[in-house]
Structure 1
């Protein structure tokens, strides 16, 4: 935006300040107040003035630096998370291929004091983690190799989930994809944000294969945004034999007793049902 601003400055001195956010949907106000902040600026003295302004409400540490560093820090934070998620998603694929329990392996490995492996999932969504790494891939082609590989791995997970669904259908004698239901449309639990969500990515993959009919439900999404979307949970359950947990909303955790008669594929490993299929 700098060229746009400076093209219309009419002799004025323009200083730009960039303070990237570090908040998560569902907990915005708390994180706005308590998370540390980075202030990038052209002029250090102006940055200190902005720091004073932020200090009036922000209890976290506030760091003043230059704009490029502030911008890069924001992108790096989300890229780091994307790479860590990609590692465990690839591990899940390896364990599925060689018939090992990825969740037990993660649990034991995390007993090491310097290991903290995340949990695998059906993909990466939202408008930060799934987007920011591409800035580095685009700006530094040939250098951002691990970053690109991580993006490809995470983008492949909805297709991996779809393959698992087809295998589970065969194992249980379910021939009609219309008897399968996806629980969750949002990109993360307990928010109503659907940007880049793994469920929408999975549905896009199905559309490319000309596959239709799969049922969809999300307790937080009342407006119709996809085909075969239900707004009533009971009607949704009546229409399906296989239930695929794509998002770990609190709603589904409180309704475990209502889904025990379904073939369950828990991609998030959030429900206490031993007989369920996992990634």
Structure 2
């Protein structure tokens, strides 16, 4: 039996995939409300294909509880934030989960850490915690790092078809874990050591962050000298070895906006480029705020309540608001302008900010300036309804004249 610890955006889909494959799975989370919802057959977030997968897993017998189970295999998928002051990883949730596992696990149990961690975290935090409890690594318990590689909006497909990396001290244990993941992963599964697995995941997201930062810096340059960044990128990308990404209002989610900080925190003297990229991407909500001010001045609009922000999710067609650029923008607005800006997102069913509208028509009726922060299919399919607004399109989805861009 596999006990999956943490039933959020990573743990729940992983548990469901394993259960659908015929493996006995019990999912554990400290959130009683979440566990109750899942036990009653209600999902806790929306994701394409997740409802069908959930039903299949329930039919195969998956169960949910707040209690850790006595077994020989655990998958730990708890959060790994960073400390704001130092930018170093905060491993307290992983260490806490490991300690609770040690309270109940069978001798020789395999602890698979899926949570993204900085290079060396298992050596610095996890091994000492285990040894402090009197357990012998490699005998009483075995450690494995198998970082997730999925993105909200396409989780089910990516769980099946993205390559996986498994870092293990013992190749025999690594092969055992590879067999477990092979129950649903149809792509290559690479075996390596733990430290390499830790570093590879952080590097993947840092690479993406740096590339996004280049596009965002290019947008600022072009704005300063009245050039069309999108046309410049389109032409430059015709070169066979150039693939510039699209600029945007900021970087959200709990991967790209977080993982690079782990490297900055651990290697402050060696990460100048990574640090600059992080600062560039974190500055984009402020850049958007400046563009809003430009439009207000140009059209002599002084009432901030006439501004409408479309999109609270950090990316299109999901309900995930973690590290959302819109939430960052709203914080800056409160600090620099005034209260009263309107907000709407078709995927966010609960009110999480002030002046959040739950009906698109009502939202449009109250605003003059529309700021598109998230490129949901919903807004793409309803562009005809917003043509009479002053539009700041941070996602470059509007193809009609008079639209303001980054």
TM-score (norm 2): 0.67
| Matching residue of 2:177 | 50
| Matching residue of 1:2 | 127
* 1:249 and 2:376 are equivalent in the alignment: yes
- What RMSD over aligned residues (CA atoms) do the two structures have, in Å? 1.1
> Once the two structures are superposed, what CA deviation does each residue of 1:52-107 show, in whole Å capped at 9, x if it has no partner?
22222211111000011001000000000000000000000000001110000000
User: Per-residue deviation at 1:26?
Assistant: 1.5
Q: Is the 8 A contact 1:6 1:14 kept in 2?
A: no
SS of 2:391 mapped into structure 1: strand
| Matching residue of 2:62 | none
User: Per-residue deviation at 1:221?
Assistant: 0.7
5 Å-filtered alignment, 1:31-46, equals: 31-46=158-173
What is the number of residues matched between the two proteins? 279
| In 1: Cα distance, 2:210 partner to 2:135 partner | 45
Q: Is the 8 A contact 1:23 1:32 kept in 2?
A: yes
| Matching residue of 1:196 | 323
* 1:183 and 2:310 are equivalent in the alignment: yes
User: Per-residue deviation at 1:216?
Assistant: 0.6
SS of 2:404 mapped into structure 1: coil
| In 2: Cα distance, 1:220 partner to 1:210 partner | 27
| In 2: Cα distance, 1:39 partner to 1:48 partner | 9
Q: Is the 8 A contact 1:36 1:61 kept in 2?
A: yes
| Matching residue of 1:171 | 298
Which runs of no fewer than 5 residues in structure 1 stay unpaired?
none
* 1:229 and 2:229 are equivalent in the alignment: no
User: Per-residue deviation at 1:144?
Assistant: 0.5
Which runs of no fewer than 5 residues in structure 2 stay unpaired?
1-125
> Once the two structures are superposed, what CA deviation does each residue of 1:188-208 show, in whole Å capped at 9, x if it has no partner?
000000010000001111222
User: Per-residue deviation at 1:210?
Assistant: 5.6
| Matching residue of 2:152 | 25
Q: Considering Cα pairs closer than 8 Å and 6+ residues apart, tell me whether 1 or 2 has the greater RCO.
A: 1
| Matching residue of 2:190 | 63
> Once the two structures are superposed, what CA deviation does each residue of 1:141-184 show, in whole Å capped at 9, x if it has no partner?
11000000000000000000001001011112211111010000
Match of 2:257 among 114, 130, 138: 130
User: Per-residue deviation at 1:10?
Assistant: 4.1
5 Å-filtered alignment, 1:65-144, equals: 65-144=192-271
Match of 1:260 among 380, 387, 392: 387
User: Per-residue deviation at 1:109?
Assistant: 0.1
| In 2: Cα distance, 1:5 partner to 1:60 partner | 32
